[in-house]
Amino acid sequence: CGFLNFRMKESDMTQQKKRIGILTSGGDCAGLNAAIRAATYAAVERGWEVIGILDSTCGLMEKPYRIVHLTKEAVDGFVMRAAGTILGTTSKGSNSPLNYPMPDGSKKDRSIDFANAYHELKLEGLIVIGGDGSMGILREVSRRSGGIVKFVGIPKTIDNDVGGTEQTIGFDTAFAVATEALDRLQPTAASHQRVMVLEVMGREAGHIALNAGIAGGADVILIPEIPYKLDVVCAKLQKLRSEGRMHSLIVVAEALRDAGGKKVQTKYGDQVRYGGIAQVIAHDINAAIGAECRVTVLGHVQRGAAPTAMDRLVATASAVHAVDLIEAGQFDRMVIWKGRQVTSVPFDEALAKYHTVDVAKDSLIRTARAMGVCLGDA
Ligand code: F6P
């Protein structure tokens, strides 16, 4: 982890107080540090010790453990305002204790090593700030360790695709960044009478595209949940032109399938990542109606911004609630944000459903259609 350059030695740990651990796991997003800060404050305020585990579960997979003592001073000041995670993270289960990469190139189930470290550090609860993948891994580690590892989860991801919660930490900031991108694209689109195609992240969920598309005044919003027809998109662009509006803005979610129904992805070694659908759309529009198109792929810029006020609020409230759950001995639960309140649900309920845009029920679909925004299908 590149943020914190002080480590705890085991001799530093003379425990009298209740001690909890905290780690961040999966892709980073804005608001993680606000959650780490709030959990630290809430725990220290009740006289507990807080151990930060570095680089997700990796910090406990080798000795000496890579951990830090989180005090109020350590998380004061800029931390809440900073993007990224001061604890570091790993993503896509690449270093999961369930399938840990060994020096000889093999993979090994090291759940028990993680549980032993948890026990040795005398942790009385763990806060995992992660997405659905990380929560699933930690649940399995806990199960394989016979329940030694007790944890509560706080959902985070710019994708907002974790079930059970209305808003994950990081989504609001990504939404704001994507909206600002549209604000910046509009004047240049208008000046040159161009079609600007903005590709946003979100995996299989179109939340960032739908929300930013509406807030940023897009003419066309294409999300994975609604298969699009090129002729419908082109008809919309031509209609705008016939009405005298010579430029247009299109937002495309990264997991939108191409005209042949295929995902547009790139392989980096053994990892496959979305990226490139906007180029495909722009190319096809140009070929169909001759419109001059330009593409912007927003990528990780959506993750690196300072957290919005809303993300700080959700992160802070969620972290305090996570500490409350540990105090009450309520584990295997995930904190959720619902109706401007924090509460929690059992993991089984939270992870049962991947949260994509519900095309039939999401009122923002109705909002977009009523505004004349083309969603590619009609
Ligand atoms: O899940 C968050 C996310 O940013 C997705 O929106 C995106 O597809 C993916 O992570 C990118 O992953 P990586 O950081 O590994 O490139």
| Secondary structure tally for the chain: helices H, strands E | 10, 15
> Over 48-100, what HEC string results?
CEEEEECCHHHHHCCCCCCEEECCCCCCCHHHHHCCCCCCCCCCCCCCCHHHE
pTM > 0.75: yes
Q: Which residues contact 358 (CB under 8 A, 6 or more apart)?
A: none
CA of 159 to the centre of ligand 1 (A): 8
- Encode pLDDT of 50-104 as tens digits: 999 999 999 999 999 999 999 999 999 999 999 999 999 998 767 899 999 999 9
Q: With contact defined as beta carbons under 8 Å apart, do 280 and 264 qualify?
A: yes
CA of 91 to the centre of ligand 1 (A): 9
**Which ligand 1 atom sits nearest the alpha carbon of residue 161?**
1
CA of 130 to the centre of ligand 1 (A): 13
H/E run at residue 111: helix 111-120
Whether 213 lines ligand 1, by a CB cut-off of 6 Å, is no
- Encode pLDDT of 142-151 as tens digits: 999 999 999 9
Whether 161 lines ligand 1, by a CB cut-off of 6 Å, is no
- Catalytic sites, residue numbers: 159
Write the DSSP assignment of 296-338 as a string of letters. Answer: EE-GGGGTSSPPPHHHHHHHHHHHHHHHHHHHTT--SEEEEEE
Q: With contact defined as beta carbons under 8 Å apart, do 339 and 320 qualify?
A: no
Q: With contact defined as beta carbons under 8 Å apart, do 152 and 328 qualify?
A: no
The pick from 256, 273, 277 for probing ligand 1's pocket by mutation, whose C-beta has the most ligand atoms within 8 angstroms, reads 273
Q: With contact defined as beta carbons under 8 Å apart, do 1 and 54 qualify?
A: yes
Give residue 291's identity as a one-letter amino acid code: A
Whether 157 lines ligand 1, by a CB cut-off of 6 Å, is yes
Whether 264 lines ligand 1, by a CB cut-off of 6 Å, is no
Label residue 7 by pLDDT band (50, 70, 90).
low
Distances (CA, A) of 230 to 196, 227, 281, 296: 16, 10, 8, 19
- Indicate if the pLDDT at residue 5 is higher than 50: no
CA angle 128, 129, 130 (to 5 degrees): 105
Instruction: Write the residue with the smallest CA distance to atom 8 of ligand 1.
Output: 203
- Encode pLDDT of 268-318 as tens digits: 988 899 999 999 999 999 999 999 999 999 999 999 999 999 999 999 999
CA angle 309, 344, 45 (to 5 degrees): 65
Give the Cβ contact number of residue 349 at 10 Å: 14
CA of 202 to the centre of ligand 1 (A): 7
The alpha carbon dihedral of 71, 129, 95, 174 has a sign of negative
Whether 330 lines ligand 1, by a CB cut-off of 6 Å, is no
Whether 201 lines ligand 1, by a CB cut-off of 6 Å, is yes
The pick from 85, 90, 91 for probing ligand 1's pocket by mutation, whose C-beta has the most ligand atoms within 8 angstroms, reads 91
